[in-house]
Amino acid sequence: MQAMALTTPPVAAKKSHQFTHHGITVSDDYAWLRDPGYPEVTDKEVLAHLEAENKWFESRMAERKPLIDTLFKEMRGRIKEADKSVPQKDGDYLYWIEFEEGAEYKKWWRRPVAGGEDQLILDEVALAEGKEYFRLGALSVSQDGKLLAYAVDDNGSERFTARIKDLDTGELLPDEIPGTLSALVWVAGDKGLVYSLANEQWRTDNARLHWLGQPLSSDVELYHEDDEGFRVGSSLSSNEQWLIIGSSDHETSEVRLIPAADPLAKPILVKLRAKGVEYDVDLHGETLFVHTNDTHENFRLATAPLSSPGEWTTLIEGTDEFYLTGVDLFRDFYVTEGRVRGLDRIEVRYYDDPARVEPIEFPEASYSAGLGDNPEWAMDVLRVGYESMVSPSTVYDYDVATRSLTPLKVQEIPSGYDASLYVTERLEIPARDGTLIPVSVLTRKDRAPGGPLHLYGYGAYGIAIDPGFSTSRLSLVDRGFAYAIAHIRGGDDLGRAWYKAGKLERRTNTFTDFVDAAKGLIERGYTQAGRISISGGSAGGELMGAVANSDPGLWGAVVAHVPFVDVLSTMLDADLPLTPGEWPEWGNPIDDKAAFELIQSYSPYDQVKAQAYPPIMVTAGLNDPRVTYWEPAKWVAKLREMKTDRNELILKTNMGAGHGGKSGRFESLKETAEEFAFILWQLGLEA
C-alpha cells in the first residue's frame, strides 16, 4: 500500500533552458524531460519522474478503485464477449472476424463459398500472448486466396513488422519486413508485395516492392518522395488492375499509376502537384474518376481518359451545400459519400446515366452512416453501416436494384438497452462571431435540467466527429449526465470551409467555439458552470489545454488524453517525426514570425499562468510517436508550478504503449473507467 501513503505530488526539477527565434526568447525549464536519446528512453532522471507521476496517479485513484471496478463491470456488461462480424464474400471465400468469450483480441476466419470447413487464417490472441501491447496493422489476402500478408506492432511505436503466411499449410514464409507503416498490396500475380517503410523520422517517404522469397536487399524502390512534409501510400484500384501510389501532406497531393501486373513499369503521373490541390483517383475501364478540390473546396468529381490523365472534365460539380467526401467505384455503378448540413449522405449513381441519382434513405433525423466492407468489383448488394447516438450500430445489406435495406446485425448489448429511455438532439449554438456551432446531445428522457454535462471535442485536421453510438458513455448518461459533442471548426463536419476556419491563422476559432458551445448549453438550461466535464485526445488534448487556460471556471473536470500541448516547441523541431508534415495545418514558426507569435499565443504549455485551474487528468504513452511523452509531462510539471489551487492534477504514462493507450478491448475499457471515475469524483457524484 505504498502508493496510498503518498501525500504530496512529485515536483519536477527546473533546469534553465532557453531558445530564440525571430528575436523572441522563450524559457523552457522542463525541456530536460525530453530524453536526448529518443525514441529510446533510458535517462534515469526522466524515467524516475514519470514513475513518480504514475505512483501519484495510483495513490490518488486508489480510493476510486471500487467505482472504477463498478464502471468497468458496467461497460464490459454492455459488450457481447463472444461475438462475430457478418461474413462478407470476397472471391471464393466468405470472411469474418470473431471475439471469443473473455478475449482481448480477434480471430480472423474464412469459409469456401462452395462449402467446406471454417479456416482460422489469423489468431490475434495467440500473436498477442505474453505481450504488454499488441496491434494488428495491415492485413491482406493474396488475390488467389493462398497467402496472407499482415503486420504487427508489439510496443506502440507504430513501426510494424510484416510477415506472410501460407494459408494452405499455416506456415510462415521466411519473408519478414521490419519497420513498415503502410498497407500491404499484392501485385504481379501475387508474386510481389508493395509496402512503405517508416524512415528514422517515422515518415513514409517511399513505396517499395518485395518479391516473395527474395532477400530484402533486393527490394525495389518504386517511388521516393523528396519533400519531407509528404507521406506516401499505396493501394489497388477498385478493379484491381492498377497500383495507385499517392503522396500528400495535409493540403496537397499527387498520384501515380502503375499496372498491377507489371509493377516495374514506368509510373503514369496523373497530375503534377499544385499547392492546396488535393486529389485521389480510381479507374473504371480506361476512364479515371478524380475526386478533387481544385475548383471548389467541397470537392468535385471529374473524369479523364487514361491516355490523358491530367485533363479533367467535371462529372459532379462542387457546391456549398454538398460536401463530397469520397467515391467508390463498382462494375455497374458507383457510390458517392458526403454530407449535407453535417448529415451523412450515400448516393448510388450510374455510368451510363449521370442524371440518375439514388440516395439511400435512413429513418432518423441525426445519424452516422457509411459504406462498409465491399471488396468485390461486381457487386449488386452493398454492405452499409448505420448508427446514431441512441441507435446501436447496425449492419445492412442494400439491394441496389430494389433500393431496399435489409438489417443483418444490430449491435447486441447483453446487459440490456432500451432506446426509448433516451433522446438525442442536434442544437445550433451561436459562437461569439455569430457562426452557428452544431452540438449533438444525448440525454435520458427523465434527466432533470441543469445537471452535470460531459462535453467532447476534437476540431482539427478536417476530422468530423460523428454523432454515433457508444455503450461506454451510457455510464455517465445513466447517472444523470447529458453527453454532448461540439462539432467545432477545425473538423470538416460542415464541409471544407468548416475545416479551414479552424486551422492556421484561424486556429483559435476551435477553442472559442468549444467555450461558446459550453456557455450556450448553460444558457439553454442543460447544465451550470462548474458542472461540465470535458475530454479530448491528441489535437483534442490541445483543445483541453487551451480552454483550461482561457476559461478555467467553466469546467468541473478536464481529461486530456495524449495531449498535443507543447505546440510551439514541436513545430520548431523539424527533426521530430510529424513536424514538417504538420506545418500546413498549424503554420511554420521556423520561417514565419507571425506563425511563431500566433502559436505561442495559444500553445497550452506556453500559456500556463498563475491562476486557479480545474481538476485535470492527463494520459501519455512512452512510445507514442505522434504526441511525444514529454509534451504532457512538461505541461503537468508547469501546471504544478504555476497553478494557485489545490485541485487534483494527475498524470498517467503508459510505459508500454503509444498514442492509442492500452491495446485490447477490455484493457482500453479500464482506462475509460478510470476517466469516468475521475470525472464523477471531481463532480461529487461518486455515490
Output Rg (C-alpha) for the chain, integer angstroms. 25
Q: Is the pLDDT of residue 658 over 90?
A: no
DSSP string, 347-402: EEEETTEEEEEEEPP-SSSS-EEEE-----SS-SEEEEEEE-SSS--EEEEEETTT
- Do 585 and 461 touch, CB atoms closer than 8 A? yes
pLDDT of residue 662: 58
Kindly name the residue from 153, 280, 624, 663 that is annotated as catalytic: 624
- Do 491 and 499 touch, CB atoms closer than 8 A? yes
* Residue length of the chain: 687
pLDDT of residue 3: 41
Give 651's contacts (C-beta < 8 A, 6+ positions apart): 53, 54, 56, 57, 618, 619, 620, 632, 633, 636
pLDDT of residue 580: 87
Mean pLDDT rounded to a whole number for the chain? 95
Kindly name the residue from 238, 253, 659, 663 that is annotated as catalytic: 659
Q: Is the pLDDT of residue 2 over 50?
A: no
Residue keyed to cell 472471391? 91
Range with lowest mean pLDDT among 3-17, 31-45, 226-240: 3-17
Task: List the CATH code of the domain at 131-269.
Answer: 2.130.10.120
pLDDT of residue 146: 97
All cell numbers assigned to 282: 480510381
pLDDT of residue 158: 84
- CA quadruple 576, 577, 583, 587: dihedral sign: negative
> Where does the chain hold its CATH 2.130.10.120 domain(s)?
131-269
pLDDT by residue (tens digit) across 573-619? 998 877 888 999 999 999 999 999 999 999 999 999 999 999 999 99
**Annotated catalytic, 296?**
no
**Annotated catalytic, 668?**
no
pLDDT by residue (tens digit) across 177-236? 999 999 999 999 999 999 999 988 888 999 999 999 999 999 999 999 999 889 999 999
**Annotated catalytic, 157?**
no
Which has the closest alpha carbon to 211: 164, 258, 255? 164
Range with lowest mean pLDDT among 49-53, 103-107, 679-683: 103-107
Kindly name the residue from 538, 569, 603, 663 that is annotated as catalytic: 538
Percent of the chain with pLDDT over 90: 91
**32-57 average pLDDT score:** 95
> Where does the chain hold its CATH 3.40.50.1820 domain(s)?
2-76+423-682
- CA quadruple 564, 566, 568, 573: dihedral sign: negative
Helical segments of 116-179, H only: 124-128
pLDDT band per the 50, 70, 90 thresholds, residue 4: very low
CA dist., res. 433 & res. 443, Å (int) = 28
pLDDT band per the 50, 70, 90 thresholds, residue 271: very high
Q: Is the pLDDT of residue 20 over 70?
A: yes
CA dist., res. 93 & res. 111, Å (int) = 5
The topology (CATH level 3) of 2-76+423-682 is Rossmann fold (3.40.50)
All cell numbers assigned to 382: 452493398
CA dist., res. 137 & res. 132, Å (int) = 16
